[in-house]
Structure 1
Amino acid sequence: MMTPQDLRFVALIAAASSLAAVARRLDISPSAVTQRLRHLEERLQVRLVDRSSRRLQLTAEGSMLAERGAAVLAELEAMTEALAAGRGAVTGHLRVAAPFGFGRAYVAPAMVALRQAHPGLEMSLILFEDPAHSLRDGQWDVMVHVGHLPDSRLVLRRLAPNRRILCAAPAYLAAHGTPSQPEDLRHHACAVIRENQADTTLWPFTHAEGHGTAIRVHPALASNDGAVVRQWGLAGLGIILRSEWDVAEDLRSGALVALVPDWTPPPADVVALLGARNGRMARTERFLQVLGQALRPVPWRG
């Protein structure tokens, strides 16, 4: 007889890169994980993990159990939530993934409000640098994403509009001149963010009349942290291309100046990604409602 705890254990193994990673998730020793796995295999009389592989890899039986077990766990969780919803409660464990900056500024406060309204709800917030890695990891119910979306079969919901804005500090422009068109960027210091495998040095623009161009910048500065790139822009070190939500207040105060107003970079709308099953969860729906309310009206356009 298998238990839900057994299925959750197998799901952790399927998602992990090593048994040591499973041990960290469970906050137990690696030897305890190995022993638990051995006892489960003995009870089922089947090998779940391929010991001959140099990396953690499930056997065919282990993969089947992980896949079908995930469906069973999802159904059990849905039934539990349905019973709780009947008495007006939201329960379970909400797992949210979000970019560092936007997650701190908007997602974390929304989760505070959600927890205050539903104290029986457990929550985890994972802030990431690399959305592609987080998409592969899959250990979340909702991923809040800003900007270009990698190809994905996940359900998508648009939460808020968000432009990308080319800008620089007045001190930089006074010292180096103001570009009048995207081609001028070839002769300016630019700061870029490198947070995934995307080509972040190719900056596309569309003119108000409809034609477009793409400029290859040679970055004088680069970081995997958008907050650092913004700081460099504010310090007058170079021209930056940042999300509207991140620099709207700087633009209003004059700390940054928007450039090439006739040319528009592609938008970077804020969206939510969720799996087909997770979309039915009461906790997921309630979180999206709370976050959606926090983003209406759009706060960076206030």
Structure 2
Amino acid sequence: MLTSDDLAFFTMLASSASLAESARKLNVTPPAVTQRLRALEARVGVRLIDRSGRQLSLTDEGALVASHGMVVAEAIEALAEALADRKSAVSGHLRIAAPHGFGRLHVAPVVEAFARLHRGVTVTLDLSDHPGSPLIESCDVIIHIGPPGPMNQIVTTLAPNRRILCASPGYLDEAPPVRSPRDLTQHRCLVVRENDEDVTLWRFSHPSCDPATVRIHPAMSSNDGAVVREWALAGQGIAIRSEWNIATDLADGRLRRVLPDWEAPSADVVAMLGARHGRSARTTAFLAMLRQSLTPPPWGQAPWGQGDGPASAELS
């Protein structure tokens, strides 16, 4: 008969590449792992791990035990969360995913403060190029910049974030003037390629004009927004970047806003939650702390945010 400890042990084993790795995770010696595995297999009467290769490989019976182990582990975690919520205790393991740049600058400090305040919580912060809905089953909170995922997810907005058309003063001083969105077709444009989005179609709105859509021809592109920002700073062309990412550059004059009367679609900072994770006390407490740190948005406090200066106005 299998116990919950047996299932937890085998689930850890199944998620490891080797017996040595599982031994490190369990803080025991490899022989101890081998001995416990043999005892487990003897008790159930079937082989669970195929040891013929260099890496661990589950037998069909092993895969069955591992899948049931995951179910039991999730049920135990859910029960612990429910009991903790009854007494409003913040405990358990908090899993967070966030974009690289934004995560380092705005999420990681809050995670540190949260862990300091709630000693009963362990935290994992995974930074990814494009964290999104595929991670919703493995994370409690996914910080996302831009349109949220499917409607069956719980989504809460944390902070507004405009997307700004910008370029360096050096580029703008030497390039033809930009008086309307259609002029962008004659300029070097820099784009961030994300997922399957059509990044060559730039859309703009204006308070007193019809919306404009422009098909640009990128001079340079990258899947890393930080790289595209550096290219813009180096005078390589015009880019659309998030306000949080370039507010300081605009305030310091390293970048100028282009066509300040025209707005690109915004990309608000949102948190996506799974239906199960959204109810935990630790998730609620972390989101409250993160929202407080982003209210008001730090990037909205730059001098340029109070009104665009003459450097950008001259391009309107």
Residue 218 of structure 2 aligns to a residue whose secondary structure is coil
**Structure 2 match to 1:180:** 179
Per-residue deviation, 1:220: 1.5
> CA contact under 8 A between 2:157 and 2:270: conserved in structure 1?
yes
SS in 1 for 2:104: helix
Tell me the residue number matched to 2:272: 273
For 1:65 and 1:114, the matched residues in 2 are separated by 33
In structure 1, give the amino acid aligned to 2:110. Answer: A
Structure 1 CA distance for aligned equivalents of residues 87 and 194 of structure 2: 43
Q: Which runs of 4+ in 1 moved over 6 A?
A: 21-26, 34-42, 45-50, 56-61
- Describe the superposition over 1:71-104 as per-residue Cα deviations: whole angstroms up to 9, x where unpaired: 6434422432344456664221111000011101
Contact kept? 1:74, 1:277, Cα under 8 Å? no
1:112 maps to what in 2?
A: 112
Shift of 1:199: 2.1
Q: Matches of residues 125-144 of structure 1 in structure 2 within 5 Å?
A: 125-132=125-132, 135-136=134-135, 138-144=137-143
1:44–1:229 distance in 2 versus 1, CA, 3 Å: farther
Q: Which amino acid aligns with 1:20?
A: A
1:131 partner SS: coil
Tell whether 2:172 aligns with 1:212.
Answer: no
1:279 is displaced (CA, Å) by 0.7
Instruction: Supply the AA of the counterpart residue of 1:116.
Output: R
User: Relative to structure 1, is the Cα distance of residues 298 and 40 closer, same or farther in structure 2, using a 3 angstrom cutoff?
Assistant: farther
Q: TM-score, normalised by structure 1?
A: 0.80
Deviates more, 1:101-110 or 1:152-161: 152-161
In the TM superposition, what is the alpha-carbon distance from 1:254 to its structure 2 partner?
Answer: 1.9
Q: Deviations over 1:154-186 (max 9, x none)?
A: 211111111111011111100113312221111
Root-mean-square deviation (Å)? 3.8
Deviation at 1:234, TM superposition (A): 1.4
Q: CA deviation at 1:216?
A: 2.2
In structure 2, C-alpha distance between the alignment counterparts of 1:5 and 1:200, rounded to whole Å: 50
Q: Mark the runs of 5 or more structure 2 residues left unpaired by the alignment.
A: 51-56, 302-316
Contact 1:4 1:73 in 2 (8 A): no
The equivalences for 1:215-294 within 5 A come to: 215-294=214-293
The offset of 1:47, in angstroms, is 9.3
Q: In structure 2, what is the equivalent of residue 145 of structure 1? A: 144
Q: What number of residue pairs does the alignment pair up?
A: 294
Using the alignment, how far apart are the partners of 1:293 and 1:22 within structure 2?
44
Match of 1:20 among 17, 22, 25: 17
Taking the aligned partners of 2:294 and 2:141, their CA distance within structure 1 comes to 16
How far apart are 1:212 and its partner, in Å?
2.2
**What is the TM-score when the length of structure 2 is the normalising length?**
0.76
2:123 aligned counterpart, secondary structure: strand
Structure 1 residue 281 displacement after superposition: 1.2
Equivalent in the alignment of 1:53: none
**C-alpha displacement of 1:291:** 0.4
Alignment check: 8 A CA contact 1:49 1:59 kept = no
Residues 129, 196 of structure 1: 8 Å contact kept: no
Q: How has the CA–CA distance of structure 1 residues 194 and 87 changed in structure 2, closer, same or farther, with 3 Å as cutoff?
A: same
Structure 2 CA distance for partners of 1:74 and 1:256, relative to 1, 3 Å: same
Mapped to 1, the partners of 2:80 and 2:256 lie a distance apart of 52
Between 178-187 and 107-116, report the one with greater CA deviation.
Answer: 178-187
Aligned counterpart, 1:299: 298
Partners of 2:158 and 2:220 in 1: CA distance: 31
Partners in 1 of 2:40 and 2:274 — Cα distance?
29
Partner of residue 96, structure 2? 96
Structure 1 SS opposite 2:97? strand
Tell me how far apart the structure 1 counterparts of residues 63 and 41 of structure 2 sit (CA, whole Å). Answer: 10
Contact 1:47 1:62 in 2 (8 A): no
> In the alignment, is the contact (CA less than 8 A) between 1:49 and 1:57 conserved in 2?
yes
Q: Which range moves more in the overlay, 36-45 or 103-112?
A: 36-45
Separation of aligned partners in 1, 2:37 and 2:44: 11
- Write the distance in 2 (CA, Å) between the matches of 1:298 and 1:74: 36
Deviation at 1:11, TM superposition (A): 9.0
